[in-house]
A and B are shown apart, each in its own frame.
Chain A
Amino acid sequence: MSFKAFIPSSAPNWLQGINGTKLLEAIGVSFDRQINATREAVLVRFPNLAPSDGLPAIGNERRLERGALETEADYRARVYRAWDDWALAGGGQSLLRVLRSQGYPNTALVQQNGILYTLDGPGNVLLSDLGANPLLPGSPPWWTFTNNDLFWNRFAVIFYPPFPFSWTSIVSPPTSVSAPSDSEIGIIARAVTTWKPGKALCMGIFVLLDGQSIGYPVRIIGNGTTIVPFGSINGGAVVRFDC
């Protein structure tokens, strides 16, 4: 029961006339206003009840930065899921889910020792084995970053088309007016470095502008078919950002 209703109801009969009731109701409203604020002061600490300006503080406490393209609803859900998501930190699924939630669904991870990570529709991780390098007979399956095939802990993040609509000027290094901007790329890079294993060496965030794949052998991530060795097209069809 509100104080607006309670105070008049508990008043003596002589104070329950029209004016007395209105006076006590007004006093009750003042009490209700403060009580409600006190109640909300407790509730706003919870992810599903935090106001828009309180959500980033909870996210920051849970080491979750909101993506530049992430909706408030998606971010709120991610902050709420922190217990589950952080338990899987360091895995490919967790990083890809973070990037998907931040507004980048067409994202993959490739690691040098021959595994490709993607997500299916519901967000479950799909692992694919990469093939052997046709230019290096006898070599194990691995993604080419350099000719050093011993570096099993190297990986990269790959963005493939279609990109977010806002990405209209993809240049590296990004600037305050490029799209994505330096701020947006910074958020992506922090997500990668925060969610990767400490020992994993990120070789870059690669944006495949025309859907081409990079590295050997054929691994079509996007919708292209041209296979070009990594390095020779850096600055061309592929834009690389630092992690």
Chain B
Amino acid sequence: MPTLALEPGVNVSTALTLAELFVTQNEDQIREQLLATLRANGFPVTDWYAGSVGRTIVELVSSALADAIAGDPAQSNGLIPQITSAGYVDFAELLDTDSVQRRWLTLLARELYKLDRFAATRTTGTIVLTCATGAGPISISNRQLTFSSLATGNRYVGPTEAGPLLLPDGGTLSFTIESEFPNDSLGNPPLNYVDASGTVTSMVTVLAGVTANNPAPVFSPVSLVGIGSGIVTPTPTAPGAVTPTSVAILITSDGQQGISTWSLSLNGLAYVAQGTTPVSYNVPATNITIGFTNGFSSPSFRVNDLYTFAAPGSFVISQGTDEETNKALATRCRSRWPDLSDVPTADVYDLWSRQATPQVTLVKSYADAIIPGRVNVIVAGQAGSLPAGVIATVQSYINVRQPITDKAVVASATPTVITLAGTVTVSSAKLAIAQQAAQINVAIYINSVGIGGTLRVSAIIEQIMIGDGTIDVSGLTINGAGNLTLSANSVSSFVQVLATSLTWVTS
């Protein structure tokens, strides 16, 4: 029995286990305990018929205690389990199951750890208006226009600039738009502002002679984690579209271009040795050519240098994120403890990255194996990789905190596009419900798999089976195979619509 001596002669102790405190006693259980006590005191409780004085007193007391203290049977958690839960970050979210939705973890995080839950944010990006000759010039004021994606129906509002902005006659105008609402990918209906470039082309607010598009660069910026100065440049092999691909290039031996060796990984699959670094290399079936150029040092390419980029790039400036989950907030709370030290541990780099911007939802940090003192901080967001502006924000946040001799280098995780296939059997009456549940539950699972983590077929089947009316899942594959272990600095990117991409069989 844990006992604490508060002062001489004054002890405090506890006798109940956590498991016992988490059990909600109902009126029947309280009544049985009371009757047992009365029986032990010599009362003939078995002779008390319904409506008798003794029985009525027992009923009244039991009912009052059940309502006031033990718990409301209509709720999943009684008062005592809720008070117990309230003391733990790990269990605080159990309180959210009550009808009041008190968000106890939000309170706990604020009052104990001085951390506010991150609110949901909006996706921002760049759109380009083109004005036909004779239709302009047109003055556009702040938030005057609404656009939508033909693919998803997502709506964006802009310009966010103060304005007014001038769209010249026969010319173009670029400005920033933001999603109509903050992200809420788990809402009903879900609001998930993940749109590809070239899809936000519908002008809800019509301007005569004006068209809209959200073009993106053909390639994302090339990210380097390593010490080399070599330059990797992606270009289209031939005019035309490139195949959407995430590319990772790992240098496997030191040297200048033509001497060093490299391996190539596409879409998170295993690396394949490619021999010495060529001047250029055409990636088969992608219309992507990779160029290798020496940098300022020799050797320019160093073993374990990792270059990553994706095609296409993104029009997104900042990706909208859902309200911070309980799990993520609890992670930040826990990281407050290592933050007590003046020496940043891996947890502290994790905390700093999340504190820098709510867009960071996954972090992996580790000491570099080549450069003494360097800490590689790999971050990812709700939609997978993060744009350069967000990376710069995190880098700046860490720069002013890291101690002398530390050198933290922030980079975005490489996205690995996740594509599921398989057959789901559902009750015909519940097809829509099952599909929606599968979409949400699978997304939660995939997005929770950390950088370099492993996606498991069994876990995904489990998530799909949660849906009401789901009968069976068969032949499920992840990117055409079984379990998928992401490469060390890779994060899963899941935008697949399961209702149309899986095979749904009703019975």
Contacts and interface: CB of A to CB of B under 8 A. Distances in A.
A191 B16 CA distance: 31
Given A30-B61, A37-B69, A152-B373, 8 more contacts: A25-B41, A26-B34, A29-B34, A40-B14, A89-B341, A198-B348, A198-B365, A199-B375
Chain B CB count within 10 A is highest, among A19, A26, A38, A82, for A26
Contacts of A76: 2
A90 B344 contact: yes
Interface string A76-95: 10000011001111110010
A128 B69 CA distance: 60
A101 B79 CA distance: 36
Interface stretch (B81-89, B191-199, B221-229, B269-277): B81-89
Nearest to A89: B341
Nearest to B89: A61
Contacts, number: 180
Interface string A22-49: 1101110111011101101111111011
Interface stretch (B17-25, B283-291, B476-484): B17-25
A196 interface: yes
Contacts of B81: 41
Given A58-B88, A90-B343, A153-B367, A49 B14 contact: yes
Interface residues of B, number: 67
A22 B25 CA distance: 24
A68 interface: no
Nearest to B18: A54
Given A27-B34, A34-B65, A49-B2, A194 B334 contact: no
Interface of A: 19, 22-23, 25-27, 29-31, 33-35, 37-38, 40-46, 48-54, 57-58, 60-63, 76, 82-83, 86-91, 94, 150-154, 193-202
A41 B95 CA distance: 14
A30 B65 contact: yes
Nearest to A59: B90
Which 5 pairs of residues, A with B, have the shortest CB-CB distance? A90-B343, A45-B87, A89-B341, A41-B83, A54-B18
24 contacts: A22-B43, A26-B43, A30-B30, A30-B62, A34-B69, A40-B21, A44-B14, A44-B87, A49-B2, A49-B4, A50-B2, A51-B14, A61-B88, A62-B334, A62-B337, A63-B335, A89-B341, A89-B345, A90-B344, A194-B347, A196-B346, A197-B345, A198-B349, A198-B367
A33 B33 contact: yes
B139 interface: no
Contact of A49 (B13, B21, B25, B88): B13
B50 interface: no
Interface string B76-102: 000111011011111100000000000
